[in-house]
Structure 1
Amino acid sequence: MRKIVSAVVAAAMTAVFAAGCGGGSGETSGGLTTVKVGIVPFSPNAVLFHAMDGGIFAKHGLKVTTVSAAAPTPIVAAMVSGQQQFGFVTTPVLLNVNAEGTAVKCVSPVDGQISKDRDASALVASAKSGITDIKGLAGKKVAVVQLSSINLIGAKKLAEQAGVTNIEWVAIPFPQMPQALADGRVDGAVVTSPYLDTAVAAGAKKLAYPSSQLWPEGTIYCYGATDKYLQEHPDVAKKFHDAMTEAIQYGKDHEAEIKKTLETYLKLSPEEAQKQILPTNYVPEINVPSIASIQDVMAQQGSVKKKVDPKDLVWTPQG
């Protein structure tokens, strides 16, 4: 797992030196600072999408565009190489890249802290497998989005609690998981919305909700930036942080409105968009103790090289 993260980031660092670029932000003719945000397309991005379309970023002086990726690790590489200024990172990826010496910090939650009452991601078993509980996954093949993901860390922890330690974990992008389950290429998967709905409609059985069961009200992912970018552009980072704070708080009382953006950005029907579960309590703060808890689980599983201080992974705007 650590080798995967290191290799991608190392490749990105090579690109930085080859290109001689540091990743600045440009000005549009309208006076807005243009930034690119790397995302993994899934329902919780609704808050970001609304901030883009609803004028919240513009109000704070930013013009935001997004770039999609299959998983967080290539997003980190794009930030390191200067191609993107901000990007989606899960807590395990954040911990791993910092442990490896690539300084990346959380600037804002994606949509708040994960709700203890609702979760958009679930560990499911395929309809063909006949599996009805986590113990049934023993010796089976289970898909996760990447082998350094919060989904793997959480699902592996729940499996260990159930006495299961011999699962074969494989990396498959979220959009491909429903078909992989339906075809029987994997026996289970940790799937997130809107792809979770597709999988369940085809007969997949929900077994658990790893993130909300293990870290209720925790920070399992965030929008981050490299420490280098934050030092060079603290004003832009503050604008991004403040805009996301406003958007998250707005979403609490206007969930139907922000879900509507999923029609455009995730190509959902109006009915599908409104059915999406946004797994958030709409608290626009990073939960540092939860990052420490996730790191402890990773250390137990041998999936982090060394521990880092979770407080150092959170950027706080000045002034």
Structure 2
Amino acid sequence: MYSSRGFRRGLAIGLVGAAISSVAAAQEQKTISMIYFNGSSEALEVGILMDEGIFEKNGLKPEFAQATSGPAITSALASGSVQFGPGYPALYLPALKQNRALRVAGPFAESGFYNIIAQKEIELADPGVGVNENSLENVKSMMGKTVGVTALGAQTQVFVQLLAQQGGLDYKEITFVPTGGAASALAAFKNKQVDFLVTWIPEDGLLAEQGIEYQTAVNANSGPDNSFGLINGLWLVNSDFADENPDIAHAFCKATIELRQFVQDPQNKERVLEIMQKHQGLDRKGAEIVYENWRYVYEPIEVNYVSENLWREQSRYLTGTKDEGYVPEYGNYISNDCMKLGQQAMKQ
């Protein structure tokens, strides 16, 4: 039989072993710095990565910085003051032209695009879905009016400029007003400080909750049935950091794929709705609206995969700028190993 003395000795050894194992596990967690908009579409991804332990499973321990604007995010990533964050094509493409230190961190882009809402009293045509004759007709109504965008020079502004150009209009006749993130943007619209507002996930789920009256001017859904052919954003990493820490960059890539697979599984719907409410400020009804309309945005599907063709298409963001026609070399900014993981995820 085991003596009490032997038992205590064995227990002590076991506890020491567990402590050593715990310390080793803690040491395996690599600290990374991330930046994103609180309450944004990326906030859902961050929420799943954190609350479902996906970061931890992949040996990552994130520290967060809150973003103030898209241009600020791009600058922070390029300078290396943060390591990972969302990248918006209208902003990172000019940065790549300037040889800034940026690289794609995951194989899938966010394909959910923007809507543009208008005050109820403005006369508009039914925009339908996508960029069509009616939606471009509605863009004409923006001439001489105010349009709320997250920040001056942000991708939300570039989006409106592209629509205007596609409709043969001079976007300089539009007054762009910086309205910030979801909370301040919706408040500005509700108080009629702007005539139009460019909205994105999760604002679609917040409008009814806040009793905001509006009509849709443009519904540019860039998903499986897209007619605009552009993406909203993807995850970027500071390329100097990725070169020095390829294992961490690979772990982050895996984590982004796993979160998308989590969202894709309908059995996880209730959990996703909970995380939406927690991290995007939605009530239950609003979360369901976003989930049903935009879940595909986060799934590992072909339309979201950053293929070479999709990568090249994003140069359309530079239309009418001094960088028009610039297409960065795909292989210079994409990890082959990461993209292979993405291809495997689409097959599962």
TM over 0.5: yes
Alignment RMSD, CA only?
A: 2.8
Q: What residue in structure 2 maps to residue 207 of structure 1?
A: 217
| Cα shift at 1:81 | 4.3
In structure 2, do the counterparts of structure 1 residues 289 and 144 end up closer, same or farther at CA, with 3 Å as the change threshold? farther
Q: 1:192 aligns with which of 196, 200, 209?
A: 200
Residue 161 (str. 1) matches residue 177 (str. 2): no
**Cα distance in structure 2, aligned partners of 1:171 and 1:61:** 38
Please give the alpha-carbon distance, in whole angstroms, between the structure 1 residues aligned to 2:178 and 2:323.
18
Percent of residue pairs bearing the same amino acid type: 19
Are 1:220 and 1:291, in contact at CA under 8 Å, matched by a contact in 2?
Answer: no
Q: Kindly indicate whether the alpha-carbon contact (under 8 Å) linking 2:273 and 2:287 is maintained by their aligned counterparts in 1.
A: yes
Q: Distance in 2 between matches of 1:66 and 1:275?
A: 28
5+ residue gaps, structure 2 = 1-23, 126-137, 341-348
Instruction: For 1:214 and 1:147, locate their aligned partners in 2 and report how far apart those are by CA, in whole Å.
Output: 26
Distance 2:100 2:218 in 1: 33
Question: In the TM superposition, what is the alpha-carbon distance from 1:63 to its structure 2 partner?
Answer: 1.6
Question: Could you tell me how far apart the structure 1 residues matched to 2:159 and 2:269 are?
Answer: 27
- CA 244–190 in structure 1, closer or farther in 2 if over 3 Å, else same: same
Q: Which residue of 1 aligns with 2:335?
A: 315
Name the structure 2 match of 1:38. 35
Deviates more, 1:28-37 or 1:132-141: 28-37
1:301 aligns with 2:308: no
Structure possessing the higher radius of gyration over alpha carbons: 2
TM-score w.r.t. the length of structure 2 is 0.72
Does the aligned pair in 1 maintain the 2:36–2:42 contact within 8 Å? no
**How far is 1:107 from its partner?**
0.6
Q: Distance in 2 between matches of 1:220 and 1:193?
A: 11
Q: Gapped runs of 5+ residues in structure 1? A: 1-26
Aligned twin of 1:134: 139
**SS of structure 1 residue aligned to 2:56:** helix
SS in 2 for 1:101: coil
Corresponding position of 2:278: 264
Q: Is the 8 A contact 1:113 1:283 kept in 2?
A: no
2:206 and 2:122 map into 1 onto residues whose CA distance is: 17
- After superposition, what is the alpha-carbon deviation per residue over 1:140-184, rounded to whole angstroms, capped at 9, x for unaligned? 121222344333333222223334322222322132222222222
For 2:185, the aligned partner's letter is M
Q: Where is the helix percentage greater, Structure 1 or Structure 2?
A: 2
In the alignment, the residues of structure 2 paired with residue 178 and residue 246 of structure 1 have an alpha-carbon distance, to the nearest angstrom, of 32
Alpha-carbon deviation of 1:293?
2.0
Count of residue pairs the alignment pairs up: 286
TM-score (norm 1): 0.78
Once the two structures are TM-superposed, the CA of residue 104 in structure 1 deviates from its matched residue by 0.7
C-alpha distance after superposition, 1:219-253 (max 9, x if no partner): 43111112111111111000000111111122111
